[in-house]
Amino acid sequence: MIKVGFTIIGGKTGWMGGINYLKNLLFAISQTGDNNIQPILFVGKNVDQKLLDEFKGLAIIKKESVFDRYSFQWFIDFILRDVFAINPIINHIIKKNDIDVFSHSFIYGNDLKCLSVNWIPDFQHIHLSYMFSRLNLIVRNYRLRCMSKYSDAIILSSYDAYKDYVKFAPKHIEKASVIHFVSQTTGFEIKPISYLESKYNFKGKFFFLPNQFWAHKNHKVAFEAINLLKKEYPDVLLLCSGLLTDNRKNKHISSLKNFVKNNGLENNILFLGLISYNDVKLLLYHCITIINPSYFEGWSSSVEEAKSMGKSMILSNLPVHHEQAEDVADFFDFNDAPSLSKILLRYWNIEYNLEDSFTENDLEKRTKVFGLEYQNLISNMIKRISSCNK
Structure confidence at residue 188 (pLDDT): 84
Q: Has this prediction a pTM greater than 0.75?
A: yes
Structure confidence at residue 387 (pLDDT): 65
Across 267-295, average pLDDT: 95
pLDDT: which is higher, 224 or 189: 224
Asked if residue 217 has pLDDT above 60, the reply is: yes
What percentage of the chain has pLDDT greater than the value 90?
A: 79
* Cβ(179)–Cβ(376) below 8 Å: no
The string of pLDDT tens digits covering residues 21-38 is 999 999 999 999 877 899
Across 238-263, average pLDDT: 90
Structure confidence at residue 248 (pLDDT): 77
CB-based burial label for 172 (10 Å; 0-12, 13-18, 19+): middle
Number of Cβ atoms within 10 Å of the Cβ of 36: 11
Q: Please state, in angstroms and rounded to a whole number, the distance separating the CA atoms of residues 281 and 235.
A: 23
Which of 177, 243, 180 has its CA nearest to residue 210? 243
Q: Looking at 233-237, 274-278, 340-344, which range is the least confident one?
A: 274-278
CATH code assigned to 2-179+366-389 = 3.40.50.2000
Burial letters for 215-225: b for 16+ Cβ neighbours within 10 Å, e otherwise? bbbbbbbbbbb
Give the H or E element holding residue 348. helix 337-349
Asked if residue 11 has pLDDT above 80, the reply is: no
Q: Which residues contact 135 (CB under 8 A, 6 or more apart)?
A: none
The SS3 assignment for 329 reads strand
pLDDT tier at 195, thresholds 50, 70, 90? very high
Residues shown for the chain: 390
Domain ranges of the chain: 2-179+366-389, 193-359
Which of 184, 195, 150 has its CA nearest to residue 22? 184
Structure confidence at residue 389 (pLDDT): 61
Structure confidence at residue 388 (pLDDT): 66
Please determine whether the domains at 2-179+366-389 and 193-359 fall in the same fold group of CATH: yes
Q: Which residues contact 120 (CB under 8 A, 6 or more apart)?
A: 144, 147, 154, 155, 156, 161, 165
Across 157-166, average pLDDT: 97
Q: Please state, in angstroms and rounded to a whole number, the distance separating the CA atoms of residues 316 and 211.
A: 13
What percentage of the chain has pLDDT greater than the value 70?
A: 97
CATH code assigned to 193-359 = 3.40.50.2000
Structure confidence at residue 13 (pLDDT): 47
pLDDT tier at 177, thresholds 50, 70, 90? very high
Asked if residue 211 has pLDDT above 70, the reply is: yes
Q: Which residues contact 371 (CB under 8 A, 6 or more apart)?
A: 25, 27, 28, 29, 30, 31, 32
pLDDT: which is higher, 192 or 10: 192
Give Cα separations from 263 to 189, 259, 292, 338 (angstroms). 36, 6, 22, 16
The string of pLDDT tens digits covering residues 332-371 is 999 999 999 999 999 999 887 777 777 777 899 999 999 9
pLDDT tier at 105, thresholds 50, 70, 90? very high
Asked if residue 303 has pLDDT above 90, the reply is: yes
